[in-house]
Amino acid sequence: MLYLKTDEEIGLLRESNMLVSRTLAEIASILRPGITTLYLDQIAETFIRDNGAFPAFKGYGGFPNTLCTSVNDQVVHGIPSAYVLKEGDIVSVDCGVILNGWYGDSAYTFPVGEVSEEVKQLLDYTRASLEEGVKAAFAGNRIGDISSAVQTKAESGGFSVVRELVGHGLGRKLHEQPEVPNYGKRGSGPKMEKGLVICIEPMINAGKKETYQMNDGWTIKTADGKISAHFEYAVAVGRGEADVLTTFKFIEEVLNKM
């Protein structure tokens, strides 16, 4: 069952996702070598609650925190901890909120201080693969058109696409139908209609695609120990083009000032 949202509902989802976008910009403003991922989590939780919303991940399936913070070879679902971020690390920060009953869910992978050229390449290609996916998210196209666009872009840089985790529908629930894989064939999967709201979230590895789950029951890591990046937008499928409900503009305003 695919839930199609009205324009009014998409407006509410935009508000939720804009709050996530602003929360990620708060993270950008404090992120530096020497701070812990748990500190990022505390800043995010306070900001979300101060804005009249709730952290969507906290308690979701028993997840203990507001953010997923996944460092270096951690792909996604990392638990904030006393780990001290160091120069050259990357950290994927995934954030969810519930505002007025509607979910926001977006992620950005930040470089910590100066990172190597190889690391920048992975970040650039992962981000670009997300943008390619967005271009395919219009009415009449199929989910596989998004999947194929993401995969093609990521693999063109020599990177690999994580298979075990996928994007998803978004609305009054954090995870709705359909699943949105980051690999697949054009013309396959459910047909999209105007009003479908989905999260597109490529998880792209510098090395091989295989992953495993740590025995904390959450954290997903690359099997080969190489780094992984993750960017996520919520988008509303429209006629001819997608309406992106997330923005990285606030993050980039902060990063460009540094």
Q: Which residues contact Mg ion (rule: CB under 5 A)?
A: 94, 105, 107, 199, 232
DSSP letter at 36 equals: B
Q: Give the shortest CB-15-to-Mg ion separation in angstroms.
A: 17
3-state SS assignment for residue 223: coil
Nearer to Mg ion, 97 or 192 (CB): 97
Residue from 54, 30, 52 nearest 104 by CA: 54
Taking the complex as a whole, how short is the minimal distance between the CB of residue 128 and Mg ion, in angstroms?
Answer: 19
In angstroms, give the least distance from the CB of 168 to Mg ion: 6
**Residue 176 tokens, joined:** 């709705």
Q: C-beta of 77: minimal distance to Mg ion in Å?
A: 9
Q: Look up residue 5 and give its DSSP letter.
A: P
- Among candidate residues 94, 11, 76, the one with its CA nearest the CA of residue 211: 76
Smallest distance from Mg ion to CB 156, Å? 24
Residue 2 to residue 51: CA distance in whole angstroms:
30
In the complex with Mg ion, the residue whose CB is nearer, 102 or 117, is: 102
Residue closer to Mg ion (CB basis): 3 or 88? 3
The smaller minimum CB distance to Mg ion, of residues 26 and 94, is found at 94
Q: Coil, strand, or helix at residue 217?
A: coil
Q: Smallest distance from the beta carbon of 178 to Mg ion, in angstroms?
A: 13
Q: Which is nearer to Mg ion, 88 or 163 (CB)?
A: 163
Q: Are 41 and 67 in contact (CB under 8 A)?
A: yes
Q: Between 105 and 176, whose beta carbon lies closer to Mg ion? A: 105
Write out the DSSP string of 55-105.
ESSTTGGG--SSEEEEETTEEE-PPP-SPBP-TT-EEEEEEEEEETTEEEE
